[in-house]
C-alpha cells in the first residue's frame, strides 16, 4: 500500500470542484477513493452535496408535511455522516503526522483541518450554485449583478480559507502547530440521549 501523504489545500479545492462538475455525482457517482484521507474527504463532500439538495427540498411551501418531515430526517442522518467524515479526516491526517516531532512552543489550532476541509466543501457548493445564478436567462440584470458580486466575495472567502488550511498543514508537518480530533457527540440521533426519543418508550 502506498504511503499516505498530506493533501494540499489546492488539491482539496480542485477535488471539490471536479466532483461538482460531474452531473449527478453526489447521488450516483462512483466512489473515487476506497480508503485513507481522500476517502474521508470524498464522503464529507458527498454528504454536503446531498445536504444542499435536501435543505432546498425542505423549504418548499407547497410540499405535504410528510414530505418535509422525511426531508428533515434525511438532513439529520446526513449531518451525522458529515460529522463522522470530518472526524475521519482529522484521524487520517493525524496518522500521517504521527512521526512529526512537536516543537516545545507549537501552537494548538482551535479549528481542526477536518473542519476547515468541511467549510471548503460548503464554500465550493455556494460558489457553484451562485455561479449558476449568474448564468440564468430568466432573471433581471440586477439579479445577475448581485449574484456576480456575491460570487466574487465567496471566491475570496474560499481562497482565504484554503490559505489558512495550507498554512496549518505546513506548520503541522514542521511541528510548529497541531490540532486534535474534536468529537461532536451529536445527541439528537441517539435514542439513549435524546429525551424526545427515549420519552416515547
Backbone angles phi, psi at 178, to 5 degrees: -155, 165
Q: Report long-range pairs for 11-19 (Cβ below 8 Å, ≥24 apart).
A: 12/41, 12/117, 12/120, 12/162, 12/165, 13/120, 13/124, 13/158, 13/162, 15/41, 15/42, 15/45, 16/45, 16/120, 16/121, 16/124, 17/124, 17/128, 19/45, 19/46, 19/49
The pLDDT value given to residue 3: 63
pLDDT tens digits, one per residue of 88-122: 999 999 999 999 999 999 999 999 999 999 999 99
pLDDT, residue 201, reads: 66
| Cell numbers placing 132 | 449558476
Instruction: Give the percent of the chain with pLDDT over 70.
Output: 98
Is the pLDDT at 9 greater than 70, yes or no? yes
pLDDT tens for each residue of 22-51: 999 999 988 999 999 999 999 999 999 999
- The residues spanned by each domain of the chain are 9-188
Amino acid at each position: 500500500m502506498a504511503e499516505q501523504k498530506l493533501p494540499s489545500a489546492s488539491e482539496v479545492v480542485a477535488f471539490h470542484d471536479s466532483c461538482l462538475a460531474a452531473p449527478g455525482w453526489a447521488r450516483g457517482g462512483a466512489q473515487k477513493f476506497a480508503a485513507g484521507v481522500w476517502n474521508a474527504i470524498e464522503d464529507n463532500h458527498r454528504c454536503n452535496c446531498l445536504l444542499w439538495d435536501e435543505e432546498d427540498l425542505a423549504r418548499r411551501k407547497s410540499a405535504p408535511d410528510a414530505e418535509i418531515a422525511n426531508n428533515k430526517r434525511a438532513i439529520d442522518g446526513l449531518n451525522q455522516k458529515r460529522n463522522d467524515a470530518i472526524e475521519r479526516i482529522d484521524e487520517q491526517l493525524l496518522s500521517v503526522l504521527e512521526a512529526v516531532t512537536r516543537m516545545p512552543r507549537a501552537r494548538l489550532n482551535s479549528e481542526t483541518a477536518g473542519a476547515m476541509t468541511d467549510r471548503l466543501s460548503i464554500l465550493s457548493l455556494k460558489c457553484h450554485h451562485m455561479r449558476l445564478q449568474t448564468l440564468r436567462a430568466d432573471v433581471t440584470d440586477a439579479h445577475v449583478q448581485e449574484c456576480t458580486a456575491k460570487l466574487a466575495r465567496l471566491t475570496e472567502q474560499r481562497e482565504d480559507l484554503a490559505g489558512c488550511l495550507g498554512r496549518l498543514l505546513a506548520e503541522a508537518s514542521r511541528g510548529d502547530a497541531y490540532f486534535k480530533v474534536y468529537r461532536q457527540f451529536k445527541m439528537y440521533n441517539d435514542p439513549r440521549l435524546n429525551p424526545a426519543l427515549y420519552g416515547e418508550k
